[in-house]
């Protein structure tokens, strides 16, 4: 047994005993669970697996430290009400906010951050990482790091614009259907049911094949396909509000439908709709990446994380993890947004820890 194994288990057991002595329930459960998991995986994979667990634990600890520091920073610079809300947020939510902020900065300042142009060929095909290209080159010799940065602008930016189109149109139609009711609600609901009956990916592939796989068509097609989902939620939320007494009082005062939607219904439906925006953005983001991977999304030479995975997939058979970096960027953003959305839903529900 090596010194690493002895020190590894010694530190885990000592830390578990200290947290148990001081009645620190959450840290004790985490450390003791890690000790049991390490013993199990250590028996299966030996010291190599323990090194892997150590690296993962170190990354999680670093992420928790960054999230805590970022939460404290926001608590100091924001106004008192917002500061209290941020300080009461879990570390997962602050970590999600930090990741989203990093992605936004990368997308906005891509030309400044990226060392090379989006389509600039600077080396050989599949060039290994070096001082000039820290992640190596792609199949044409373009810098993968630069294309990863530009991919944040293209993939995230297009997904945000598409989500805005779907969200605004779906919310507006859903609120109108719930407020007006009658045959208007029935007609709109049946049209939405018909669209939702068709598998989204198949429908998207069909529409993009017919109208062409350019950026404008991609945005309109994905926005059209996700509008019915937002419509269903907005209609359901508004349906519980339009029966309230204050809505009936507004109708008796002679208020218009637009007034009812904007002044009475929308403010009371804002919390679930904002949370839905975050979730819908994740689905749109993944849909665009999937279509790009299939070759019908964002077209080259525009950098896109989905197409980057497809273009460099050959490297995986040689044990190179470079194609997994764009996939990891997609997964990290999706998980981070879900962390933030979960926190927002928790706050909107009025639940306490």
Give the CATH number of the domain where residue 206 resides.
1.10.3720.10
pLDDT at 242: 82
pLDDT at 124: 78
Residue 74 lies in a domain: no
pTM of the model: 0.77
Residue 267 lies in a domain: yes
pLDDT at 218: 85
**CA atoms of 275 and 339, how far apart (whole Å):** 11
**CA atoms of 339 and 90, how far apart (whole Å):** 9
Check whether residue 321 and residue 196 sit in a common domain.
yes
- Parent domain of 311: 144-349
Residue 105 lies in a domain: no
Check whether residue 43 and residue 163 sit in a common domain.
no
Residue 76 lies in a domain: no
Q: Which of 68, 92, 116 is the last residue of a domain?
A: 68
Closest CA to 327 of 157, 161, 144, 200: 144
Check whether residue 45 and residue 165 sit in a common domain.
no
Check whether residue 189 and residue 312 sit in a common domain.
yes
Residue 85 lies in a domain: no
Q: Which of 13, 47, 68 is the last residue of a domain?
A: 68
Q: Residue-wise pLDDT tens for the chain (353 aa)?
A: 567 677 777 887 888 888 887 888 877 888 778 788 777 777 777 767 777 777 777 788 888 888 888 888 888 888 877 777 788 888 888 898 899 898 888 888 888 888 888 888 887 777 778 888 888 777 788 888 888 888 888 888 888 888 899 988 988 888 888 888 888 888 888 888 888 888 887 888 888 888 877 788 888 888 888 888 889 888 888 888 887 888 788 888 887 878 888 888 888 887 788 878 888 888 888 888 888 887 777 777 788 888 888 877 777 777 777 778 888 888 888 888 888 888 877 776 654 44
Check whether residue 63 and residue 155 sit in a common domain.
no
Check whether residue 166 and residue 50 sit in a common domain.
no
pLDDT at 353: 46
pLDDT at 241: 83
Closest CA to 138 of 295, 300, 329, 287: 300
Residue 91 lies in a domain: no
Check whether residue 161 and residue 53 sit in a common domain.
no
Residue 134 lies in a domain: no
Closest CA to 149 of 303, 44, 21, 16: 303
Check whether residue 194 and residue 294 sit in a common domain.
yes
**Residue carrying the six token digits 């890690």:** 34
Q: What angle do CA 186, 188, 191 make, to 5 degrees?
A: 105
Our count of domains for the chain comes to 2
Check whether residue 218 and residue 322 sit in a common domain.
yes
Residue 116 lies in a domain: no
Q: Is 143 helix (H, G, I), strand (E, B) or coil?
A: strand
Strand partners, 121: 142
Q: Which of 49, 68, 87 is the last residue of a domain?
A: 68
Check whether residue 195 and residue 282 sit in a common domain.
yes
Check whether residue 160 and residue 48 sit in a common domain.
no
Q: Is 137 helix (H, G, I), strand (E, B) or coil?
A: strand
Check whether residue 221 and residue 319 sit in a common domain.
yes
**CA atoms of 139 and 159, how far apart (whole Å):** 26
**Positive or negative: CA dihedral 282, 284, 288, 290:** positive
């Amino acid at each position: 047994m090596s010194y690493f194994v002895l020190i590894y288990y010694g530190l885990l057991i000592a830390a578990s005993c200290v947290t148990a002595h001081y009645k620190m329930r959450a840290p004790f459960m985490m450390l003791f669970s890690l000790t049991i998991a390490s013993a199990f995986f250590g028996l299966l994979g030996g010291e190599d697996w323990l090194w892997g667990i150590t690296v993962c634990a170190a990354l999680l600890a670093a992420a928790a430290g960054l999230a805590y520091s970022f939460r404290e920073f926001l608590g100091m610079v924001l106004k008192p009400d917002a500061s209290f809300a941020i300080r009461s947020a879990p570390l997962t939510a602050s970590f999600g906010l930090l990741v989203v902020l990093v992605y936004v900065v990368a997308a906005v300042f891509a030309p400044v951050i990226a060392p090379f142009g989006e389509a600039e060929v600077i080396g050989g095909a599949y060039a290994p990482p070096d001082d000039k290209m820290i992640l190596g080159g792609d199949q044409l010799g373009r810098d993968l790091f630069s294309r990863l940065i530009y991919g944040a602008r293209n993939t995230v930016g297009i997904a945000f614009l598409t989500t805005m189109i779907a969200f605004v149109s779906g919310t507006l139609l859903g609120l109108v259907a719930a407020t007006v009711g009658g045959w208007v609600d029935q007609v709109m609901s049946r049209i939405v049911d018909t669209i939702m009956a068709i598998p989204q990916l198949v429908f998207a592939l069909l529409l993009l094949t017919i109208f062409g796989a350019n950026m404008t068509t991609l945005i309109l097609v994905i926005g059209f396909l996700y509008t019915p989902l937002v419509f269903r939620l907005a209609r359901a939320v508004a349906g519980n509000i339009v029966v309230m007494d204050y809505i009936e009082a507004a109708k008796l005062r002679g208020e218009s439908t637009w007034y009812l939607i904007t002044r009475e219904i929308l403010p009371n439906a804002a919390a679930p709709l904002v949370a839905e925006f975050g979730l819908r953005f994740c689905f749109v983001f993944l849909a665009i990446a999937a279509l790009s991977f299939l070759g019908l999304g964002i077209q080259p030479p525009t950098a896109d994380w989905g197409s980057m995975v497809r273009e460099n997939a050959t490297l995986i058979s040689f044990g190179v993890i470079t194609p997994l970096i764009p996939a990891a960027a997609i997964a990290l953003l999706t998980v981070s947004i879900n962390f933030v959305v979960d926190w927002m839903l928790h706050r909107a529900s009025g639940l306490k820890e």
